[in-house]
Structure 1
Amino acid sequence: MDLAKIEEGKKQFETTPVSAKLLSSLRKSARLVATHYSTQIEGNRLTMEEVTQVVDKNIGGLPGRERDEKEVRNYYLALEYVDANYTKILTEKILQTIHGLVLYGKKKPTLYRDGQNVIKDGFSNAIVYMPPEASDVSMMMQDLIVWINDKLQEEKIPVPIIAALAHYQFATIHPYYDGNGRTARLLTNYILHHGGYGLKGIYSLEEYYAKHIHGYYDALAVEDIPNYYMGREQADLTDFLEYFTKGMAIAFTNIIENSKKQNPVISNDNSKLLRELSAKQRMSLGLFLQQKEITTNDLAIHLGVSKRSAAILIKKWLGSDFLIIGNSSKKARTYLLHHKWEKLI
């Protein structure tokens, strides 16, 4: 497997200075790429340019593509939700909310399927896999989430392996009638980010899956076991683990090369400053790239948190000299970035 290459890529990225402005740009690009390729896997017909128009510029109205437009908007929203919440311990509610965003574009948890679903061959329409019965799904999903959290806490199994196994098991359980593939890939992102392999959200595994789609499905098929109860839970997952880790290694290598090309000269002082910031502080720099002064509501929307949580963060950041008060009026209070951090944007 490519675990050594993944670790080397992670190490190189962590020691490569990246400006906040470039980081914000790369993160946005990665979300658009991930949205395009993950929805493309499911049959979405929009091009990369059209995805950018729909998501970034909010331009729609493509004749006969309303469903495609909705899919990419929803997936992008789900990616933003993952980026804003991955520091939290994974819960059933979080996972169900990810699916709710994927399918409906609403931050509302969706219940698991209440009946049998099947996976069919797109050409012959023959059943290629029958997931577990609906009555078993809830317990299986609870067990999966407990397993993920336990393994992440134990730190005995490499995080990429945990993510790969979680991806496989989610796809195996197939807890929903629709949206399983997209949710499985977002679950993978959540785990990798939570476990320290997010590279600040600037890479996309979805592109690798889409460009090697036959390998993706072949690896998930594991020995062509057509029914969950026929031994799929004991299947040999070597092929899928190798496929998954190879994709991560390629993505990590590419992002290092791209970062260096786009960011050839960055002062070491800026690099040191960035490492002093928390994940949420680094995320908030993207907001200051767009506007000089911010409000509590601006920060809440940008980070995907409640207004109360944003107010708590602002109070903390004022005390640590990350922010200063701009307009002191209670009704129109705004905040500025402390001069110490202005060089980062």
Structure 2
Amino acid sequence: MMKMNYCYRQTKTIEEYLQKLEVAKQLIKLLPTHPHIEENIRRRSILKSSLFSARIEGNKLKIEDIRDENLERKPESLAKLEVYNISKALRFLYSSNCPKKLSINLLLNLHRLAMKDIHPEAGCLRKEPSAIFNQAGVAVYLTPPANHIPLLLNKLIKNTGIGKKPIPIKAATCHFAFEKIHPFLDGNGRVGRLVTAFILKRGGFDFRGLVSFEEYLDEKREIYYQLLEERGSNITHFVEFYLEGLVYQVEKVITEIKEFKEERHEDTLLPRRREILEIIKDHRMVSFDFIRRRFMKIPESSLHYDLKKLLEGKFIKKLGSTRGVVYAVNNSY
């Protein structure tokens, strides 16, 4: 039976990162709340977390490929479906419907959401032997037998819930152990990162849902995989890496929030409508065809609806009629 006795050394580096995270946690509570600005940052954070979690597993999409996608609607391509599914799972985690306690049922539900229409055994624990392969395709780790998985997961859940370890440490050690158990045939990395997001949220370290930790992991993908491949029970290096990434992403978001002194009327806009407004500002007057060429991947009906909402909000005005219509900024807003 696989042992679950992972430990870490309380290094000076770990102590410093934990202090920074505690300070950041308190600082975010004290920062002025800008509801519309934060909602846009939160929406972007979920988009980034979804994209970069998929990219870590080999998805080739870039942020510009999906920034205009409506993640409320199921996409047709497999690459975008991967991002869409993770987005749904993240929204579930941050919703009132999410359970308050970690359980095997929650793990199965997260896997079902993340792998729906991607893998035939979405929401099911693996029933056969498996291995973890490196990027060269070489098996670097033989996973525990399938019949050990329920017991190992229950042990992991128990270990995560007990003790006085700081929440970020619990998230890091749980993530490492989860990947070693490898409870599913596919999607273990995605679900493992969702589980750490759940632990951070339940422990008060979700930072108002504004932080995309997966963006850092994608940037440091090679180091991330190397550390997950480490053998032995001492996972100090992985814990340091995990905390470093969390600190980096949190401090970046805090810097961004501090730059906003007060909300403006356009801060209430959804990202694409904000971008359309900026285009109209830059060019003074634009036609629908001009806007359509800037958003080739977006259905014309969606762009017409965006313009309608900008008109209703008195952000822009319509000049001319029929084919000669152009749009300009409404200076009164």
TM-score of the alignment, normalized to the shorter chain, above 0.5: yes
Match of 2:94 in 1: 83
Give, in whole Å, the separation in 2 of the partners of 1:100 and 1:221: 26
* TM-superposed deviation, 1:170: 0.4
Question: Paired residue for 1:72, among 78, 83, 91?
Answer: 83
Q: CA RMSD in A?
A: 2.3
SS of residue matched to 2:140: strand
The question of whether the paired residues in 2 share the 8 Å contact of 1:205 and 1:247 is answered with: yes
Q: Which residue, out of 175, 179, 203, partners 2:183?
A: 175
Q: Which runs of 5+ in 2 are unaligned?
A: 1-13, 270-333
Structure 2 letter corresponding to 1:165: T
Q: Is the radius of gyration larger for structure 1 or structure 2?
A: 2
Deviation at 1:105, TM superposition (A): 6.2
Task: Give how far 1:54 is off.
Answer: 3.5
The answer to whether the 8 Å contact 1:77/1:105 transfers is no
Please tell me whether the aligned partners of residues 116 and 122 of structure 2 are also in contact (alpha carbons under 8 angstroms). no
> How many Å separate the matches in 1 of 2:35 and 2:117?
29
Superposition misfits of 4+ residues, deviation over 6 angstroms: none
Residues in 2 aligned to 1:59 and 1:221: alpha-carbon distance in whole angstroms: 34
Letter in structure 2 aligned against 1:175:
P
1:98–1:109: 8 Å Cα contact kept in structure 2? no
1:116 aligns with 2:129: yes
Q: What residue in structure 2 maps to residue 211 of structure 1?
A: 219
CA distance in 2, matches of 1:177, 1:100: 12
Match of 2:249 in 1: 251
Shift of the 87–14 alpha-carbon distance from structure 1 to 2, 3 Å rule, reads: farther
1:100 aligns with 2:115: no
Q: Residues 118 and 131 of structure 1 are in contact (CA less than 8 Å); yes or no, is this contact kept in structure 2?
A: yes
Match for residue 331 of structure 1? none
What amino acid is aligned across from residue 128 of structure 1 in structure 2?
V
Contact 1:203 1:252 in 2 (8 A): yes
Using a 3 Å threshold, how does the CA distance of structure 1 residues 179 and 132 change in structure 2: closer, same or farther?
same
2:146 paired residue number: 134
Deviations 1:5-63 (A, max 9, x none): 111111111110122212211110100010111100111111112223334474855xx
For these two proteins, the number of residue pairs brought into alignment is: 247
Q: Give the unaligned 5+ runs of structure 1.
A: 226-231, 267-284, 287-345
Distance 2:223 2:27 in 1: 28
% identity of equivalent residues: 28
| Distance change >3 Å, CA 147–CA 119, structure 1 → 2 | same
- Note if contact 1:77-1:101 (Cα within 8 Å) is conserved in structure 2: yes
Structure number with higher helix proportion: 1
Pair 96,212 (structure 1): closer, same or farther in 2 beyond 3 Å: same
